[in-house]
Amino acid sequence: MIAILMWLLFIGILGSFALVFIAKWIGKNARYSPKAYNLQKEVDLRLTYKRYMELYPGARMSYDDYKRLQVQRAYRKAVSSTKIKRMVR
């Protein structure tokens, strides 16, 4: 009985390592990369504070912090507002 439980535990641990490996492999080959996400977030800093908070509700920042972030990051790379699909007209 104990041998069966140990065998099942071994299979479970081996399976979890396999799942973690597969998830990392899929993550590396995905089209959506963290670098692209950060670039999109940087482009989204050109939106109004209200619209930005609608897109990123988890970002807890005040209006002043948002404006400071815009000054630091958003205008480093000039992206035309016509190319930003999330821009509300």
For residue 45, pLDDT over 60 is answered with: yes
52 and 9 in a common domain? no
Give yes or no: residues 20 and 43 share one domain. no
Tally of domains in the chain = 2
User: Domain check: are 26 and 63 in the same one?
Assistant: no
Which residues span the domain enclosing 22?
A: 1-30
The letter for the amino acid at 84 is I
Question: Pick the residue with more confidence: 2 or 79?
Answer: 2
Residue 62, exposed/middle/buried by CB under 10 A (0-12, 13-18, 19+)? exposed
Query: Do residues 26 and 36 share a domain?
Result: no
Nearest-Å Rg of the Cα atoms of the chain is 22
In 3-state terms, what secondary structure has residue 49?
Answer: helix
Higher pLDDT, 28 or 11: 11
How much is the pTM?
Answer: 0.42
